[in-house]
Amino acid sequence: MKETKKYRVKPGSRVRVDEMDPDDKGRFDKEEDALEETEGLIRELDPLQERLYAEGKRSLLIILQAMDTGGKDGTIRHVIKGINPQGCQVTSFKVPTDEERAHDFLWRVHQHVPARGYIGIFNRSHYEDVLVTRVHDLISTEEAKKRLREINDFEKSLVHNGTTVLKLYLTISKAEQRRRLQARLDDPHKRWKFSPNDLKERQYWDRYLKVYAEAISATSTRHAPWYLIPANHKWYRNYLVAKIIVATLKEMNPQYPPAQKGIDFRKEIR
């Protein structure tokens, strides 16, 4: 984890996501230098996930947050391809439904926490309820602080019950977001992903950076750390995410269960 340590937010520290260099490429000079290592890491995911599933005692929750076009979908598509889909579930959180609004803000989230043996991926998450809501003044600062405390308690409870929580914020520059939005408009195969609301939300760029920084600073804990992932270069984003997930699973070190005693088909009577 030494290579990724600098991207991990220390508990209790105050971060400014705008000070993170989204063009960071680590020790690599070119994309080609990282691709082979990334593919090697992705190949490691399947046997690690199989051990987690076979053990059936713990789970891994990966939370992906980013600005629009930050690369959440791309990360899932390129990195998580190494995981058997039978042992993985992806949940995307949209605007809350009327039923969801009738409950506390974590109600809809808890239902999608991965079961023991599974890897769960949140494409956006419960953090939307302390980000979008603050940017658009839907909740007060005091309510936001209360929710952040509840999030810490919620994640601590997950960890105590066997779920490892890994939180990744994919950071891109405003110029890179503009380029990606234009690319969506220019490509007939990607145009469907563009929404006029993307332009509206872009106007709140600085406000989003501020509330992201406050949320990450308040909730990067020893049991549920945040990583700030430079994501202007998709290939480096993929490398770092794969590296962190593989290292986390190796640290969890799931084990195959022992064979049941007294069962041996070599002794079966023919």
| CATH assignment of the domain containing 199 | 3.40.50.300
Both tokens of 261, joined, read: 């005693």
Domain presence at residue 269: no
Domain presence at residue 267: no
Give the pLDDT score at 5: 93
Domain presence at residue 264: no
Q: Which residues pair with 171 in a beta bridge?
A: 230
Give the pLDDT score at 164: 98
Residues 185/36, Cβ–Cβ less than 8 Å: no
Give the pLDDT score at 270: 59
Specify the pTM.
0.94
Domain presence at residue 130: yes
Full domain range(s) for residue 193 = 5-253
Domain presence at residue 120: yes
Give the pLDDT score at 223: 95
In angstroms, rounded to a whole number, what is the distance separating the alpha carbons of residues 147 and 208?
17
Residues 93/109, Cβ–Cβ less than 8 Å: yes
Per-residue pLDDT of the chain (270 residues; tens, 9 = 90+): 688 999 999 999 999 898 899 999 999 998 999 999 999 999 999 999 999 999 999 999 999 999 999 999 999 999 988 888 889 999 999 999 999 999 999 999 999 999 999 999 999 999 999 999 999 999 999 999 999 999 999 999 999 999 999 999 999 999 999 999 999 999 888 888 888 888 899 999 999 999 999 999 999 999 999 999 999 999 999 999 999 999 999 999 999 998 777 777 776 665
In angstroms, rounded to a whole number, what is the distance separating the alpha carbons of residues 97 and 55?
36
Q: What is the dihedral of CA 245, 147, 160, 90, to 10 degrees?
A: -40
Q: Which of these, 140, 133, 60, lies nearest to 95 by C-alpha position?
A: 133
Domain presence at residue 218: yes
Domain presence at residue 73: yes
Give the pLDDT score at 268: 65
Both tokens of 179, joined, read: 């380029």
- CA 148 vs. chain centroid, Å, equals 18
Give the pLDDT score at 53: 96
Number of H helices and E strands in the chain, helices first, is: 10, 5
Residue appearing with tokens 């007939």: 188
Longest dimension (CA), the chain: 76
Residue partners of 160: CB distance under 8 A and separation at least 6: none
Q: Which residues pair with 92 in a beta bridge?
A: 123
158 residue type, one letter? L
Domain presence at residue 160: yes
- The total of structural domains in the chain comes to 1
In angstroms, rounded to a whole number, what is the distance separating the alpha carbons of residues 9 and 248?
15
Give the pLDDT score at 197: 86
Both tokens of 199, joined, read: 């332009």
